[in-house]
């Protein structure tokens, strides 16, 4: 089985930080976000991994190289225009060839190993397994209807969900998915949806199964969810990287990147990027900060001050 990780998004919800640092490279608990994907591939015995990149290709290649430092062998492909997840997957087709592959959405972080799902896919001889999780607000997601252990219907962000099972950002496919991707039409939001491709697979009569996941699942794409993931991965504690200097009272949920300087009265529930230089007279609360910053007080803010060098 091969791995494909989608990492081409612009990360607009984390601007301006993601203008400077590509979202997959943003540190969470002082490791790059995409390393959590590599960890999961490792647990599943997957070493051949394709990263679908966008405008930040060069920064990604510089940071990740051939992947050997992370236990994976990386191939990069460039998604030329952002037209949806199924469109992005299409760029990995040559890399995947006739193999099975695990598709991992680059924003996702899981608290539990995904290895049991790779085993389930193989044991059941499925054409596709989709990680699903029961959620309170299924309308925000792709939603699966399950009958007798099979997915019988999938709808992307339904107005009236038939179940509470959300598509949770990890999919395993056999080669049967490719003709379905070829037949896709753009959705109401103008994207080629992976959910719609899988619905075509269901309609073809192929065995499509749910991988029901009960553990923690985070989508790191917004400030709130980014900080929540950070708190989870640090057990709510405080983490200070090598060579960082902090002159502030530190409360729970604080991560200071290596080489950063932080001067403030108090800092809580915030992430400071490596090498940042942050001077705040009052408190820092609920922030993601990088670069050179001077301010009185910072709350629930994403900010990146240009570095002078």
Q: Which is nearer to ligand G1P, 67 or 169 (CB)?
A: 169
146 binds ligand G1P, rule: CB under 6 A: no
Q: Which is nearer to ligand G1P, 104 or 304 (CB)?
A: 104
142 binds ligand G1P, rule: CB under 6 A: yes
Nearest to 209 by CA among 148, 128, 114, 104: 128
Residue 237 CB, shortest distance to ligand G1P, in Å, is 27
216 binds ligand G1P, rule: CB under 6 A: no
- For ligand G1P, the binding residue among 72, 166, 177, 181 (CB under 6 A) is 166
Tell me how far apart the alpha carbons of residues 283 and 295 are, in angstroms, rounded to a whole number.
Answer: 10
Residue 108 CB, shortest distance to ligand G1P, in Å, is 7
219 binds ligand G1P, rule: CB under 6 A: yes
Residue 219 CB, shortest distance to ligand G1P, in Å, is 5
Q: Please answer whether residues 37 and 67 qualify as being in contact, where contact means their C-beta atoms are separated by less than 8 angstroms.
A: no
103 binds ligand G1P, rule: CB under 6 A: no
Q: Which is nearer to ligand G1P, 165 or 276 (CB)?
A: 165
228 binds ligand G1P, rule: CB under 6 A: no
Q: Which residue is nearest to ligand G1P (CB)?
A: 142
257 binds ligand G1P, rule: CB under 6 A: no
89 binds ligand G1P, rule: CB under 6 A: no
The DSSP line for 119-181 is HHHHHHT-SEEEEEEE-S-GGGSEEEEEETTEEEEEEES-SS-SSSEEEEEEEEE-TTHHHHH
Q: Please answer whether residues 4 and 102 qualify as being in contact, where contact means their C-beta atoms are separated by less than 8 angstroms.
A: yes
195 binds ligand G1P, rule: CB under 6 A: yes
Tell me how far apart the alpha carbons of residues 43 and 219 are, in angstroms, rounded to a whole number.
Answer: 20
Residue 53 CB, shortest distance to ligand G1P, in Å, is 17
Residue 254, C-beta contacts closer than 8 angstroms, at least 6 positions apart: 238, 239, 267, 268, 269, 270, 271, 272
Residues that bind ligand G1P (CB under 6 A): 85, 105, 141-142, 156, 166-167, 169, 193, 195, 219
């Amino acid at each position: 089985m091969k791995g494909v990780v989608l990492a081409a998004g612009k990360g607009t919800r984390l601007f301006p930080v993601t203008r400077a640092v590509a979202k997959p490279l943003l540190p969470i608990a002082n490791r790059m976000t995409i390393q959590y994907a590599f960890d999961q591939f490792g647990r599943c015995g997957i070493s051949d991994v394709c990263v679908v990149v966008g405008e930040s290709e060069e920064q990604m290649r510089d940071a990740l190289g051939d992947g050997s430092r992370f236990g994976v062998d990386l191939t990069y492909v460039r998604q030329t225009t952002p037209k949806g997840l199924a469109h992005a997957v299409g760029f990995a087709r040559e890399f995947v060839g006739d193999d099975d592959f695990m598709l991992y959405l680059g924003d996702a972080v899981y608290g539990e190993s995904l290895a049991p799902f790779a085993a389930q896919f193989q044991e059941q001889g499925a054409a596709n397994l989709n990680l699903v999780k029961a959620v309170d607000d299924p309308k925000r997601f792709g939603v699966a209807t399950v009958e007798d252990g099979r997915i019988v219907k999938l709808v992307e962000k339904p107005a009236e969900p038939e179940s509470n099972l959300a598509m949770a950002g990890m999919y395993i496919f056999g080669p049967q998915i490719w003709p379905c991707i070829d037949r896709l039409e753009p959705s109401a939001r103008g994207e080629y949806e992976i959910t719609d491709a899988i619905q075509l697979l269901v309609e073809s009569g192929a065995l499509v199964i749910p991988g029901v996941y009960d553990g923690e699942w985070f989508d790191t794409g917004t400030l709130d969810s980014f900080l929540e993931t950070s708190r989870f991965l640090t057990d709510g504690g405080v983490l200070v990287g090598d060579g960082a200097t902090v002159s502030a009272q530190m409360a729970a949920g604080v991560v200071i990147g290596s080489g950063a300087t932080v001067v403030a009265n108090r800092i809580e529930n915030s992430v400071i990027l490596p090498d940042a230089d942050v001077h705040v007279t009052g408190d820092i609360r609920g922030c993601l900060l990088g670069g050179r910053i001077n301010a009185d007080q910072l709350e629930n803010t994403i900010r990146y001050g240009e570095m002078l060098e």
